[in-house]
A and B are shown apart, each in its own frame.
Chain A
Amino acid sequence: MSGAGDDAPVLRVEDLSVEFRVRGAWWPAVRGLSFVVARNETLALVGESGCGKSITALSVMGLVPRPQGRIGGGRILFEGRDVAAMPEAELERLRGDRMAMIFQEPMTSLNPVLSVGFQVSEALRVHRGIDAAAADAEALRLLEEVKIPSARRRFADYPHQFSGGMRQRVMIAMAIALKPALLLADEPTTALDVTIQAQVLGLLADLKSVQGMSMLFITHNLGVVAAIADRVAVMYAGEIVEVAPVARIFSAPVHPYTEALFRAIPRIDRAEQSLDAIGGQVPPIDRMPQGCRFAPRCPARRASCEASAQALVEVAPGHEVRCGVRAPAGAMAA
């Protein structure tokens, strides 16, 4: 479809900036963002609330809320085509077909006045133009695939008759209906109980291996990251501060923010501990520091940090860090 080879990444984001209007001026909520998602790969996007994770996913889908938000610059190459420059009609053909998204809130993400079966079959009808009976049959198969108990009986039920975990399964069934190349999952388990969380994560991992899709998985839960991700990108205040394979980011985090994130997880193997919350807050969008955006909260801060913006520097193969102290430019580890 794209003409690109099999080893070409499904998604390549280049220097993306997404801006929001605050008091009459446009401010970047995400800036200079670049990353790739390879075929069959799961990239986890990690960071605090408000760091731009969800906005990144919405940009890929072409769903940045307008008129208060807009893509300010950069390219989003999905299967070789720039989504950011695409007209809405063309985006509509991609959405739900080649790329799909699961949202955080299963309780409000389904339409209360349409039956669950219809909502699952809708994408099939819209994109494939197949008749209602065939779409319903396929939707039923999908509901069974995501393990909705007695799916046939519940096909015509409405969302309010489903629990949160079941609704998220319905959302997943909707998203995978057309076997997308890329699945964007925006904190799909955050609103669920821990046991249901594990089930949903297991389901996503199964589907991914069966269907061979790539996933951009957004979460602030590092336990979830360890369970599902191949690579991890840590975001802070609209920028990626560290990218590394999942094993490496857990064993050898470099950026002070990544370190701080890990220190903020309670450990079951230690008897006594004080949780280290990260002091301070993410700076507001219209008052970003000039230099390193984490500098005001950073324990390793030096005077030079606040002077100029930091660049992403490769410290090991596949491991990049945006920190002038820990990873100064031109100092790649052997």
Chain B
Amino acid sequence: MLWYVAKRLLAAMPTLVAVLTVVFVIVRIIPGDPALTVLGDQATPQALAALREKLGIDKPLLAQYLDFISAALTGDLGRSLVSGRPVINEVVAVLPHTLDLTISSLVLGTVLGVPLGVWAALRRNRLADYVIRIVSLVGLSFPVFVSGIFLLMVFALHYRLFPVIGTANLSDLGDRTWKLVLPTITLGLVMVAYITRVTRSAMLQVLSEDYVRTARAKGVPARLVIRRHALRNALIPVVTVVGLYLGINIGNSVLTEIVFNRPGLGKVIVTALNQRDYAMLQGLMVIYCFLIVVTNLLTDLAYGLIDPRVKQA
């Protein structure tokens, strides 16, 4: 297992460098002169040249590339063109909010989705299965801004159980949890729906496998057959989906963040886009890709825990 972890970690490094390279290329391809964008049409040539030198874009492309990679690998992602603050500081300030929401909604999705999916598979084509399938389809079809606003109206405005404004004080655990409840439900319900559906279809496939019949032929009690023999195999595709959505949700929680007025990575990205803050966007792309690479690494490690065949490969 240790060897497997080491191999996965090593394999993640080239991915990271490749991602940095792609980000570098994309930013250079974007038409327009960053200095001109910052200073505007009225800037003097001297001011433009000074800014270019300051941004390091007067150097040859290869030198720029090496500067960028070495800076990125040491955690220096440049400064925002608008606020002038280091990108990494902006990200670190909001990352806990984003991770809170992403992880809690994922936990909610798994804790509810896996048992529901198993239940639906076991009751295939019976009432419970139909209800679970229909409800999960509805859950998937509801956009987050609709369900979020609905939850706000009912539980924050009408019953006043939870706050309307979601900016939490990070050092106050109670406050942090309390303000997380409604956003987590909003984003988590989508995850529940996804995970339920994946678990159901994976379970149905696994339940018809020969080794499940073998386990029953051994006299293993039905509950144990489901938990030990079927579910463990069915979790492999579930882990894939969870890993995928963990990555996607880090960026996609923006709608939830806007509805609940929470700070977060998604909101920072949207703000940078609106302000055409190229330096900020470049840094954010790197951070986002880094998080995806980390997520994939975690997914691979989870595979290794579940499936012994993976460790071999």
Query: Would you give the shortest CB distance from A140 to chain B, in whole angstroms?
Result: 17
- The answer to whether A63 has its CB under 8 Å from any CB of chain B is yes
Q: Which A260-299 residues sit within 8 Å CB-CB of chain B?
A: none
Query: Would you give the shortest CB distance from B182 to chain A, in whole angstroms?
Result: 38
Cβ–Cβ contact B229 & A96, under 8 A: no
Query: Would you give the shortest CB distance from B268 to chain A, in whole angstroms?
Result: 41
Residues on the B chain within 8 Å of A94, using CB:
219
Give A86 to B269 CA distance when docked, in angstroms: 64
Known: A93-B219, A95-B217, A122-B218. A112 touches B211 (CB 8 A): yes
Give A109 to B232 CA distance when docked, in angstroms: 16
Question: What count of chain A residues pass the 8 Å CB interface test?
Answer: 32
Closest partner residue, chain B, to A108 (CB atom):
B210
Residues on the A chain within 8 Å of B224, using CB:
126
Residues on the A chain within 8 Å of B219, using CB:
92-97, 123, 126-127
Closest partner residue, chain B, to A120 (CB atom):
B218
- The answer to whether A48 has its CB under 8 Å from any CB of chain B is no
Question: What count of chain B residues pass the 8 Å CB interface test?
Answer: 23
Give A94 to B219 CA distance when docked, in angstroms: 7
Closest partner residue, chain A, to B124 (CB atom):
A67
- Ordered nearest first, which 5 A-B pairs have the shortest CB separation? A96-B219, A96-B218, A95-B219, A108-B210, A111-B211
16 more A-B residue pairs beyond the given contacts A63-B216, A109-B211, A161-B312, with a C-beta to C-beta distance below 8 A:
A63-B213, A88-B222, A92-B220, A93-B219, A96-B217, A100-B218, A103-B213, A103-B214, A109-B210, A111-B215, A112-B308, A115-B308, A126-B220, A126-B224, A174-B218, A175-B217
| Interface positions of A (Cβ within 8 A of B) | 61, 63, 88-89, 92-97, 100-101, 103, 105, 108-115, 122-123, 126-127, 158, 160-161, 171, 174-175
- Selected A-B contacts with CB under 8 Å, 21 pairs: A63-B213, A92-B221, A92-B222, A93-B219, A94-B219, A105-B210, A109-B214, A111-B229, A111-B233, A112-B211, A113-B232, A113-B233, A113-B308, A114-B229, A123-B219, A126-B218, A127-B219, A160-B308, A171-B214, A174-B218, A175-B217
